[in-house]
Amino acid sequence: MKRQEIKEILQSETVGDTVKVNGWVRTKRESKNVNFINLNDGTVLDNLQIVADVNIFGNDILRKVNTGAALSVIGELVESQGQQNVELIAKEIEVIGEADPDKYPLQPKRHSLEFLREIAHLRYRTNTFSAIARVRHSMIFAVHKFFTEKGFFNIHTPIITSSDAEGAGEMFQVSTLDMGNPPRKEDGSIDYSEDFFGKKTSLTVSGQLEGELAALALSKIYTFGPTFRAENSNTSRHLAEFWMIEPEMAFYDLNDNMDLAEEFLKYLINYALENCQTDLKFLSQRQQQEEKNKPQDQRTMELIEKLNFVAENEFVRLTYTDAINILQNSKPAKKGKFKYPVEGFGTDLQSEHERYLVEKHFKKPVILIDYPANIKAFYMKVNEDNKTVAAMDVLFPQIGEIIGGSQREERYDILVEKMKAMNIPLEDMNWYLDTRRYGSAPHSGFGLGFERLITFVTGMTNIRDVIPFPRAPKNCEF
């Protein structure tokens, strides 16, 4: 007999059918005559209640039906006398895999996220993490759907790279050399010509530069792949291994870039609202449980309300210079409430400043543009004022920068000049500069941190909870 998934059974609710389900036991409640087993197969948040008659199934079987055990059940779907619509009256129960109740770490009770993080290999078996996994999948699919509908091509940029000029952070080195006794040159430095690739290599911190190569041939491309940063960042917003989406478009200026970024984010959020209702509703309830312990002024908007709010409202667009003005004239600045005073033009904004703009002043997502050139990367296009660059950061409530992007500098001479000033080795970047030598064209792009998006959409507060196996400093389990 063919197994049916619980999602499909609960959707159709075809009472009277005999069906076979496989899944894992969440809880079991024992009565004199019947046992109630909540079975979950991960296809949907909800469990199917299995009713097992004690007189049919002996203690030999029922004692093995413990939280975490895998079961296969054949039974008749009937209307339930309890709070759910339907339930399965079991005719056959097979315990496929037992779970020793003395040792199985997941209990039929609420666990802390910190504890579940330590048993990340089992945390999918909870409502919260299975819901996150399903939402994450939906978002992956929506990313590809959005770009496909818009005529973008997906490009796989390299994961191992010999370019150490991506300029986005510290890199993890990739080597097969004997670390205890590496080959050395005469001056004592390590001789990478003996290494696997014959040169020093690392894990990528961004596919952008390679993406630009493709965009200047295919017009519109996007990458969606893993990126690695060896920064010693210990926060709830950073991972050492994360997934990034980087579209790159030829003949797009900064305004086109902003339009795309805003449309993209709204598309993803709307997709989640339409396709992940059950999971989002659960995640919302979970979040509100957590919020109960927080002081009133630190509570956030209800999850679905918040997502609708972002999807429906236009993002505010303003220049870095205007933002500085707003901040300097703000109440907290005048009352000295900012921990870091708002310095004038030329300094980067602190998290508290970004949060003030987004959460207090505008109460909407904000796109900041035209940053001072000296605090941004070498490839960003210099504006006419010669002081600022055509950069854009999309700031979201709570998580801060969700997107960072720019119009790229397409003028060869100016780019080379900037690279020299920023000590980027020109000889290693010839392949990149070729795009500016031959048929250079205005182009733009941005990077979206996928896990930051998932954090926002699921209402989770720690980024380590929205990726299956988080990698962070001093933490690489599994």
Partner RNA sequence: UCCCCAGUAGCUCAGUUGGUUAGAGCGGCGGACUGUUAAUCCGUAGGUCGUAGGUUCAAGUCCUACCUGGGGAGCCA
Candidates 170, 150, 127; CA nearest to 40 is 127
Decide: is 459 part of the binding site for RNA (CB under 7 A): no
Min separation Cβ 289 and RNA, Å? 9
The count of residues in the chain is 478
User: Using CB under 7 A, which of 41, 62, 65, 67 touches RNA?
Assistant: 67
Decide: is 462 part of the binding site for RNA (CB under 7 A): yes
Bridge partners, residue 23, by sequence: 71
> Which position has the token pair 């979950």?
40
User: Using CB under 7 A, which of 33, 55, 189, 386 touches RNA?
Assistant: 33
> Which position has the token pair 């994961």?
159
Query: Which residues are CB-neighbours of 82 under 8 A, at least 6 positions away?
Result: 49
Where does 13-162 have alpha helices with state H? 59-62, 113-118, 127-149
Q: How many CB atoms are closer than 10 A to CB 10?
A: 19
Single-letter amino acid code for the residue at 97? G
Bridge partners, residue 201, by sequence: 174
**Contacting range for RNA; rule: CB under 7 A; set: 107-115, 149-157, 188-196, 270-278:** 107-115
Residue with Cβ nearer RNA (65 or 382):
65
What string marks each residue from 194 to 233 as x (binds RNA by CB under 7 A) or -? ------------x----------------------x-xxx
Write out the two tokens for 278. Answer: 């059950």
Angle at 183 between CA 182 and CA 184, to 5 degrees: 110
Decide: is 81 part of the binding site for RNA (CB under 7 A): yes
Decide: is 127 part of the binding site for RNA (CB under 7 A): no
Query: What whole-number distance in Å separates Cα of residue 75 and Cα of residue 269?
Result: 39
Decide: is 101 part of the binding site for RNA (CB under 7 A): yes
Decide: is 112 part of the binding site for RNA (CB under 7 A): yes
User: Using CB under 7 A, which of 45, 168, 203, 310 touches RNA?
Assistant: 168
**Contacting range for RNA; rule: CB under 7 A; set: 130-138, 235-243, 274-282, 299-307:** 235-243
**Contacting range for RNA; rule: CB under 7 A; set: 62-70, 129-137, 255-263, 271-279:** 62-70
Instruction: Report helix, strand or coil for 432.
Output: helix
Decide: is 43 part of the binding site for RNA (CB under 7 A): no
Min separation Cβ 213 and RNA, Å? 18
Write out the two tokens for 295. Answer: 């002081």
- Count of residues that interact with RNA, criterion CB under 7 A: 73
Decide: is 342 part of the binding site for RNA (CB under 7 A): no
User: Using CB under 7 A, which of 418, 452, 454, 458 touches RNA?
Assistant: 452
**Contacting range for RNA; rule: CB under 7 A; set: 137-145, 218-226, 421-429, 444-452:** 444-452
Residue with Cβ nearer RNA (237 or 306):
237
Candidates 141, 120, 89, 87; CA nearest to 276 is 141
User: Using CB under 7 A, which of 82, 151, 180, 295 touches RNA?
Assistant: 82
Write out the two tokens for 458. Answer: 């699921």
**Contacting range for RNA; rule: CB under 7 A; set: 13-21, 79-87, 262-270, 329-337:** 79-87
Write out the two tokens for 304. Answer: 């679905």
In the region spanning residues 256 to 295, those forming contacts with RNA, defined by CB under 7 A, are none
Write out the two tokens for 155. Answer: 């490009």
Residue with Cβ nearer RNA (192 or 203):
203
Residue with Cβ nearer RNA (206 or 223):
206
> Which position has the token pair 């999918």?
124
Decide: is 242 part of the binding site for RNA (CB under 7 A): yes
Query: What whole-number distance in Å separates Cα of residue 39 and Cα of residue 137?
Result: 22
What string marks each residue from 378 to 407 as x (binds RNA by CB under 7 A) or -? ----------------------xxxxx---
Strand order in the sheet with 388-396: 153-154, 220-228, 241-250, 443-449, 400-407, 388-396, 366-372, 316-319
Residue with Cβ nearer RNA (25 or 142):
25
